Each structure stands twice: as structure tokens, then as C-alpha cells.
Amino acid sequence: MAIIGKDIDLAKEFLQNNQLVAIPTETVYGLAGNALDEKAVLSIFETKNRPSFDPLIVHTDSLDKLRRYVTEIPEEAQQLAEKFWPGPLTLLLPKKDIIPDLVTSGLDTVAVRIPNHSLTLRLLATLDFPLAAPSANPFGYISPTTAQHVNQQLGEKISYILDGGECGIGIESTIIGFVDQVPTVYRMGGLAIEDIENVIGKVVLMSHSSSNPKAPGMLKSHYAPRKPFFLKDRNEMSEMSDDTSAYLLFDRFIEEIDKKNQRLLSPSGDLKEAARNLFAFLRELDAQPVDHIFAEFVPDRNLGKAINDRLKRAAAID
């Protein structure tokens, strides 16, 4: 099993030897390796069982270091970086040759982010290479938001898990790219579109498709529990209530249903709290002795949009 701890020097040692280390971020835990070394990057794909057409996000701790990896930072990207980094925002920028093609699945842009977690920022500051880090879960399953989640699924395959506690945001970063210089949302995530538009004005939403080569990795089925998972509204749920199902709800229980099979994402109706609980509760319900999981949508604003996106993808619907 992996060692779980807070030892930055030990994490650094593993990474320098091309081994993988799980790292905490404010979004979800990442499975990190030296982004400049093809062997380390290859082992990230293998460990996660991730298809090679799904590119990785490269993490660093300063804009100065970032300039070593990208050829250009457009004006809007600079504005967003200054406003929201460190934070749950990933930018797609034209890559320099130093970034292996394996990291970007052959694309000429690289996804970059400065994450907001003190342990990981301290680790990045001691390294002379950036970290490629996708979520630290088997490909397609629910993303991990605690060191224990990582250990349950990848503990056998990795050396070290840097334990930074529970992730504060709880869903993946928002990804912004520049298509013909137009700021475009590739993935909704932990930074609300509304907050981004307050800084750079209107952005375009890219549509998902499992066959859209511009958005590799934006597969329709993702973040999914093992149990059959369906989206329903509350009325439908209360009519079909039975002991063989579990229910993921926003802020109110359904009276007709046994409470032990229900989880409330945020009893006070707070979308940030809901995002923080989403993946942990999906895991809990997936481990219950039930045959199905049902969920309702949350209000479709701010982080609610990213939560609903994850729910749709867990149910594999458009």
C-alpha cells in the first residue's frame, strides 16, 4: 500500500526518481509525475488506465515558471491568471517543445494551472520541473477528494500520498481555451463562469461530444459510480421509493423515503458546499447495499452548472 503522510521532502524524492505521488489540490487529488519526463508521464496513463488521447494538466507554482512551458500568454489569459491563480482555473496555452507530446496527446496547446493548496504549492516550489497530474482515480470513476479515496483505489499502485485533508472546492478546475482568440469554456468546474465573465466579458461554451477531437477527454460518460445511476425529479423519486435505491438530493429530504438511503448535498442550499460533498457522497452511495442511485439536479447557476454537468456525465446523458 502507499505511504500516506505530509512529508514534502519524501514526496520530492519519489518524484525525482520518476515515481508517482498523489497530491492534494483545492479541486480534487491529483496523480502527479514529472511533466517533463516521458517515462513518468507514461506511468500516469498506465496507472490510471487513462486513454492516451486524454491530455493531462500541468501544474506549477508561478507565472515565471509557466513561461518556460508556453510560447505565449494572451491578454485575457493573463488577466484571468492574475485574478484567479492560485485557484480552480486551467488555461490552454500554446506549448513549448520542452513539454512532451504525450502530455498533450499530440495537441499544440498545453493545459496549465497553479493550484491553491499550501502543501502542494510548497512541493512545487522545491521542484525544478512541473507536475502533470490528472485526478487520482481509475479512468472514468468518481474523482477523489480525500487521501483515503486515493488509497482505496490506487494505493496498491503508487508509492506516496501527500495528505492535505479534504479538498476545499471538491470538483475539477474550469478549463478555458482560446479558439481563434475567443475565450472558450472546455469544461465547467470549480470557478464559476459568472466570475470569469466578470473579468473578461462573455465566453463561449464548447459542446461535449465523445467524438469531438477539439475536446479530448470531455467524454459523455465520466465521473461515474459503479451502480446504475439515473437523474430524476423529486416527484418521480417519491413515487418509486423503495429499499433497493439510494438518493442524492440538493437541500431537502424526501419524506416518503428512509433517510439512511438519502444524502443532502447542502441542507442550507449552498452550491459551494454541494460541490464539496458531491464526489464523497456519490462514493458513499455507491458503497451502500442498494441496486440503483438516483439524483436530482441542483439549481443551474454558479457552481451548480459544474455540478449538473458532473451529474449528467455520471448518468451518461447529454
Residues that bind ligand AMP (CB under 6 A): 54-57, 92, 104, 107, 109-111, 134-135, 172, 175, 177, 186-187, 215-218
30-38, 53-61, 107-115, 129-137 -> range binding Mg ion (CB under 5 A): 129-137
Shortest distance, position 273 Cβ to ligand AMP, whole Å: 21
CB of 188 to Mg ion, least distance (A): 14
Q: Considering CB distances under 5 to 8 angstroms, the limit depending on partner class, which of Mg ion, ligand AMP, none binds residue 288?
A: none
Which among ligand AMP, Mg ion, none contacts residue 34 (Cβ within 5 to 8 A by kind)?
none
Q: Among Mg ion, ligand AMP, none, what does residue 219 contact (CB within 5–8 Å per kind)?
A: none
Choosing from 25, 135, 146, 184, the residue that interacts with Mg ion (CB under 5 A) is 135
- Residue 90 as a binder of Mg ion (CB under 5 A): the answer is no
The minimum distance between CB 245 and ligand AMP, in angstroms, equals: 29
HEC readout, the chain? CCEEECCHHHHHHHHHCCCCEEECCCCCCEEEEECCCHHHHHHHHHHHCCCCCCCCEEECCCHHHHCCCECCCCHHHHHHHHHHCCCCEEEEEEECCCCCHHHHCCCCEEEEECCCCHHHHHHHHHCCCCEECCECCCCCECCCCCHHHHHHHHCCCCCEEECCCCCCCCCCCEEEEEECCEEEEEECCCCCHHHHHHHHCCCEECCCCCCCCCCCCCCCCCCECCCCEEECCHHHHHHCCCCCEEEEECCCCCCCCCHHHEEECCCCCCHHHHHHHHHHHHHHHHCCCCCEEEECCCCCCCHHHHHHHHHHHHCCCC
Toward ligand AMP, which CB reaches closer, 164 or 216? 216
Cβ 269 to ligand AMP shortest distance, Å? 27
Q: Judged by CB under 5 A, does residue 146 bind Mg ion?
A: no
Residue nearest to ligand AMP (CB): 217
Q: Which residues of the shown chain bind Mg ion in the complex (CB under 5 A)?
A: 135
